[in-house]
Amino acid sequence: MATTIDAPRAKTPAKKNTNWEKWGWIYMRVSGVLLVVLVFGHLFSNLMIGDGISSIDFGFVGGKLANPFWKVWDLLLLWLALIHGANGMRTIVNDYVVRPRLNKVLRTLLWLSAALLILLGTLVIFTFEPCPAGADPALVASFCATR
């Protein structure tokens, strides 16, 4: 009985695809931890420091958004929360929507809505002006210098 030895096959380099599910899973864990810190920091600074909930009004929000530290804090909170939520919803859609076309439509709508909310929220954070120049003094807040 003759035995033959097969020549080793040349290995073709494996195609390097990005494992989006793995990165989505990692993002959910990292963003979840960061969100806990950001949310509790936000709640502590708004409710425990100063006069508590009774001090939260238009002036309080205007004062916080005038500070670059709080702009970055709120921006991180906005971006991480919206992407975290959209990724969670994407997982639910992938798990429960079995029709491929409907799945793709729902995921596209989901990411478009998240992108729109991120864009609008970012614009509000960076363009919010509680005391606009040249505004009618009867229409601006009481803490503005034009009043």
Residue-wise pLDDT tens for the chain (147 aa)? 666 676 666 676 667 788 888 998 999 999 999 999 999 999 998 888 878 788 888 778 888 888 899 999 999 999 999 999 999 999 999 999 999 999 999 999 999 999 999 999 999 999 988 777 777 777 776 667 754
Domain ranges of the chain: 23-144
Give the position of tokens 């702009």: 71
Whether this prediction's pTM lies above 0.85 is answered by no
Indicate left, alpha or beta for 50 from its phi (over 0: left) and psi (-120 to 50: alpha): left
Write down the CATH number for the domain with range 23-144.
1.20.1300.10
